[in-house]
Structure 1
Amino acid sequence: FNFPAMVPMWIYPIALACGNTFVWKPSSHTPGATQLQAELWKEAGLPDGVFNVVYGGREAVSALLVHPQVNAIQFVGSTPVGRTVFETGTAHGKRVGAYTAAKNAMLVLPDADMEFTADAAVAAGYGSAGERCMAQTLVIGVGDAADRLRPLIEERIQRLKIGPGLDPGMDMGPIYTAEHRASIVEWIDKGVAGGAELVADGRRFSRPDHPDGFFLGATLFDHVTPEMEIYKEEIFGPVLGIVRVATYDEALALINGHQYGNGTAIFTTDGGAGRRFELEVDVPMIGINIPIPVPAGYLSFGGTRGSAFGDLKMRGEDGIRFFTQEKMVTLRWPEPGRREKLSLVFPGNS
């Protein structure tokens, strides 16, 4: 569920290295990874009070947002909650970075290697059962790209092995809760009701050997349009939608005009097209023939528009700045025994 070990590890090592104590309020859905890390820090000899874990719901979040000894807050989660965290935290004088929802799209030009692109689309759309903020959930095909790409995606969907995540050879595991599985099913229902063509229906999938498992198959929609709810909102599940456009400019306008802007990608064999996309797309994390454009660990991570609130990104140099109160010190050491005459001129370097 959006990497409950890895993502916090992008945050708290920097906070600690910059000399801060740290309070972690984890998602109530994934407390195990948090508890294990706290126990390992304790076992390693980290002094009490340096790394702290607080469990709870809204009341725990509210207390942290207004506590006078909390100076900075980073949040990862939904856009409505992230907006509240940002507005409340900053209103109480805190530095806040809120990294929120996404609806990532990969643009496919007709010259792309379609076999390679199909592999990338299936991996990016259905890996982690789609429960990650960097999943590619829309494939925008330019010209005849969608006609050639769709059968290749269908073929790969049929080969996916879905089952318990710890079993050898599985490609996709279960959804993390029954409630979230039901939510994804509702989104698929909305897609059908909205007029999208349901090419592969993950609702039909079952594992008779695990009748109580929260499994879903891979779902593929075609002819998704910007008016549809499944185009507008993050589903956070194994649901991929194909959007068809006539030109590169139309595809670019869709990406730049979306309410979310987290990650994006272009698939092409034309270096000039890749360079143009890099310059023109209004999304911070960009892949060129890379389906999930998570930057290298020493670089910063974050989105724009409804995908992030705050002026600094997570990780990298921005992470250092976020968890540091910078000081600018101006020094002057007069020569011993020498006193210059009084001057009202602003001090300089001479």
Structure 2
Amino acid sequence: MITYQNFIGGEWVPAKSGERSQNFNPADTREIAAEYPLSGKQDGMAAIEAAKKAWPAWAAMTPVARGRILSKASQILESRKAELAELLTREEGKTLVESTGEVQRAIDIFRFFGGLSYTLGGQTIPHDLPQQLLFTRREPLGVVGLITPWNFPIAIPAWKSAPALVSGNAVVIKPATQAPAMTLELARAFSEAGLPKGVLNVVIGEGRAVGGELATNPAVVAVSFTGSYAVGRQIYQQLAHRMARAQMEMGGKNPTLVLADADLDLAAKLVAIAGFGLTGQACTATSRVIIERSVADAFTQKLIEKAKAINIGNGLREGVTMGPAVSKQQLAGNLDYVDIAVAEGAKLAYGGRRLTEGEHAHGYFMQPTILTHVSPKMRIACEEVFGPVIGIIAVENFDEAIAVANGVEVGLSASIVTRDLKKAMLYTERIEAGVVKVNQISTGLALQAPFGGVKKSSTDSFKEQGAQAIDFYTRVKTVYLDYSA
């Protein structure tokens, strides 16, 4: 078991209450993964004050100097990649292959933004009068709050903190309590890389106390949040009330369209990876397959064969391809949605039950689940499950498929499998989603490209990732200079 403290003002400190909590390995709950402080409002206030104190000197550094620290942190993380991947698997549950990939993504994100530091700045704009200079400056905001989820416990803190830091902001991160170890390890890497004390702070605690402080404290000028719609909406309202900047990335109900002309073997492979990979615990996971009726039965059989081939178990064991749900509550929610779907008229084609025998006896394991005869108005077709549960909706044609895909309140990621180039391009135009994939899995993102959703998936104001991520963490100042005299 690893014992952690909060990271505030460059120091490892306990919660002011002295209270602590433990996280258990979701694959084997007999094992304590780590122990943490149980922080409250006062700890959040201390972290904000530390960031406020550190910010002016950090903002005064050049972007390149800040970028070098990000690059150094990337090197430190890379030297510890295997160790961090194992820790991630023990706490969050995903397979070691998946955890290793996620740690590598964090490494690459810091490397990317370290390099991007050489290009940060404003632009020169042609003036309509002679001997006039018109240009912009890009400046940091100040203290920003980052509220991150448990499902990508190192990648999401990385893709939020990297642009925030390289832009010259000081940050306070509140990671989800189910899997905060990776964020604390990021703090350790930055401390070793020479980040000035107080520029990055991490506070472990419940959202209502610590997250609430970030949302309401006037010293915090912006908050970037990833999590559920209900919590995101509440934080958004709190920020709007005091006119602070907000970036909310929330849920998805991501469709993969399978057209009659598709390679069904490819379609089944892509859907299985996107729906069952990461135990379905990805905001971009495929949870709806919308398929032309003429090929629905054949596709379903191929998808069932893919599900049967999945090796479910402890992610540290070689050969395992799907780990447990992150918690008892998440598992119960997944199984409840299966029961609700069947009660509403869906048919259970495969899976749908908890695994409790042998190596599964002490973990939160369930079978990958396939539901057929799903109609667009069923809850399983409209609400995010966040587990390895796929509903198959049969439609008559491409136009109906688009209508069904768009008939939900969210719009994060969407995929299509087809050989028809025209329909593929029409899909990219007509689908209501922030990310569109053609003949690819709905999960998986390029770190150099912007990411974000539409409708209730996002505030849809500022994108995350890629060079555009800088926009949320900076303001633009316009400068007019007359040198005619």
With the shorter chain as reference, the TM-score category is over 0.9
For 1:194 and 1:202, the matched residues in 2 are separated by 15
Structure 1: give runs of 5+ residues left out of the alignment: 336-350
> What is the aligned partner in structure 1 of residue 188 from structure 2?
39
> What is the aligned partner in structure 2 of residue 264 from structure 1?
414
Of the three residues 378, 381, 397, the one matched with 1:228 is: 378
Q: Which amino acid aligns with 1:289?
A: N
Of the three residues 129, 136, 155, the one matched with 1:6 is: 155
CA shift, 1:204, in A, is 4.8
For 1:66 and 1:183, the matched residues in 2 are separated by 31
Deviations 1:200-250 (A, max 9, x none): 123153341341111111111001112211111000001011000001111
For 1:148 and 1:59, the matched residues in 2 are separated by 51
Q: Does the 8 Å contact 2:313/2:359 carry over to 1?
A: no
CA shift, 1:83, in A, is 0.7
Deviations 1:99-138 (A, max 9, x none): 0011000011000000011000111000010011010001
Structure 2: give runs of 5+ residues left out of the alignment: 1-149
Q: Which amino acid aligns with 1:10?
A: W
Question: 1:198 and 2:352 equivalent?
Answer: no
Q: Does the 8 Å contact 2:258/2:291 carry over to 1?
A: yes
Deviations 1:286-344 (A, max 9, x none): 00001125442121111011101241111224311110011111111123xxxxxxxxx
For 1:102 and 1:207, the matched residues in 2 are separated by 32
Q: Which amino acid aligns with 2:159?
A: W
Supply the RMSD in Å over aligned alpha carbons: 1.2
Q: Secondary structure at the match of 1:198?
A: strand
Structure (1/2) with the larger helix percentage: 2
Q: TM-score, normalised by structure 1?
A: 0.93
Question: 1:144 and 2:302 equivalent?
Answer: no
Q: Does the 8 Å contact 1:101/1:306 carry over to 2?
A: yes
Q: Does the 8 Å contact 1:86/1:98 carry over to 2?
A: yes
My pick for the range that moved more, 109-118 or 272-281, is 272-281
CA shift, 1:256, in A, is 1.7
Q: Which amino acid aligns with 1:288?
A: V
Q: Does the 8 Å contact 2:412/2:453 carry over to 1?
A: yes
For 1:220 and 1:121, the matched residues in 2 are separated by 11
Q: Does the 8 Å contact 1:207/1:215 carry over to 2?
A: no
Of the three residues 170, 173, 182, the one matched with 1:24 is: 173
Q: TM-score, normalised by structure 2?
A: 0.68
> What is the aligned partner in structure 1 of residue 259 from structure 2?
109
What percent identity do the matched residue pairs reach? 35
Q: 1:209 to 1:298 in 2, by over 3 A?
A: closer
For 1:209 and 1:14, the matched residues in 2 are separated by 42
Q: Does the 8 Å contact 1:23/1:51 carry over to 2?
A: yes
For 2:436 and 2:478, the matched residues in 1 are separated by 34
Q: Which amino acid aligns with 1:29?
A: Q
Deviations 1:163-214 (A, max 9, x none): 0001101110011111211111111111111110101123153341341111
Q: Secondary structure at the match of 1:11?
A: helix
Q: Secondary structure at the match of 1:74?
A: strand
> What is the aligned partner in structure 1 of residue 144 from structure 2?
none
Of the three residues 448, 453, 464, the one matched with 1:314 is: 464
For 2:418 and 2:356, the matched residues in 1 are separated by 37
My pick for the range that moved more, 32-41 or 149-158, is 32-41
Q: Secondary structure at the match of 1:154?
A: helix
Q: Does the 8 Å contact 2:286/2:443 carry over to 1?
A: no
My pick for the range that moved more, 59-68 or 207-216, is 207-216
For 1:210 and 1:268, the matched residues in 2 are separated by 38
Q: Does the 8 Å contact 1:286/1:293 carry over to 2?
A: no
Q: Does the 8 Å contact 1:285/1:302 carry over to 2?
A: yes
> What is the aligned partner in structure 1 of residue 225 from structure 2?
75
Q: Secondary structure at the match of 1:140?
A: strand
> What is the aligned partner in structure 1 of residue 304 from structure 2?
154
For 2:384 and 2:249, the matched residues in 1 are separated by 14
Of the three residues 201, 226, 249, the one matched with 1:52 is: 201
CA shift, 1:61, in A, is 1.2
My pick for the range that moved more, 110-119 or 291-300, is 291-300
> What is the aligned partner in structure 2 of residue 346 from structure 1?
none
Deviations 1:149-173 (A, max 9, x none): 0000011111110000011011100
Of the three residues 262, 272, 277, the one matched with 2:427 is: 277
Q: Find runs of 4+ consecutive structure 1 residues off by over 6 angstroms.
A: none
For 2:331 and 2:480, the matched residues in 1 are separated by 59
